C-alpha cells in the first residue's frame, strides 16, 4: 500500500474514534460505520485481502454486526467493505468473510 493510503486510513480511524458513542446517544453502529470499520481493518494489495479469514479484530467486528443488524444487511455490509478495497479477488475475500461470520450460503 502507498503511504498516502495508510495515512488516509489512520485519519479515517481517528474520525471513527471521535464519533464514538457517548452516553445517552444511539447505542449501535450504523451500516456505514460497519462498512468503514471493516474496510479499516483489512490488510490488502491490488490482488487480495490478506486478513479476511483469520483476523480476530475482523471476527469481532462481524460478531458485533450480527448482533446489531438484521441478517438481510450482513451481506450488504460485507460486500460493500470488500468492494471498497478494489482488490482483484473480491469474491474470494467475500466468501472468506461470510464463512468467518458463520453466514449460510445463499440458495436460489
Predicted confidence band of residue 1 (pLDDT cuts 50, 70, 90):
low
Lowest mean pLDDT among 14-18, 62-66, 81-85, 95-99: 14-18
- What pLDDT score does 84 carry? 92
pLDDT confidence of residue 24: 45
pTM score? 0.68
The pLDDT, as a whole number, for residue 19 is 65
Terminus-to-terminus CA distance in the chain, angstroms? 38
Query: Each residue of 42-53: pLDDT tens digit?
Result: 888 888 888 877
Amino acid at each position: 500500500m502507498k503511504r498516502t493510503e495508510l495515512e488516509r486510513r489512520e485519519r479515517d480511524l481517528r474520525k471513527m474514534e471521535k464519533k464514538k458513542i457517548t452516553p445517552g446517544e444511539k447505542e449501535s453502529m450504523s451500516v456505514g460505520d460497519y462498512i468503514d470499520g471493516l474496510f479499516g481493518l483489512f490488510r490488502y494489495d491490488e490482488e487480495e485481502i490478506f486478513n479476511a479469514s483469520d483476523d480476530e479484530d475482523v471476527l469481532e467486528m462481524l460478531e458485533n454486526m450480527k448482533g446489531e443488524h438484521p441478517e438481510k444487511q450482513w451481506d450488504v455490509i460485507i460486500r460493500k467493505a470488500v468492494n471498497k478495497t478494489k482488490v482483484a479477488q473480491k469474491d474470494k475475500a467475500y466468501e472468506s468473510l461470510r464463512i468467518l461470520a458463520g453466514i449460510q450460503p445463499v440458495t436460489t
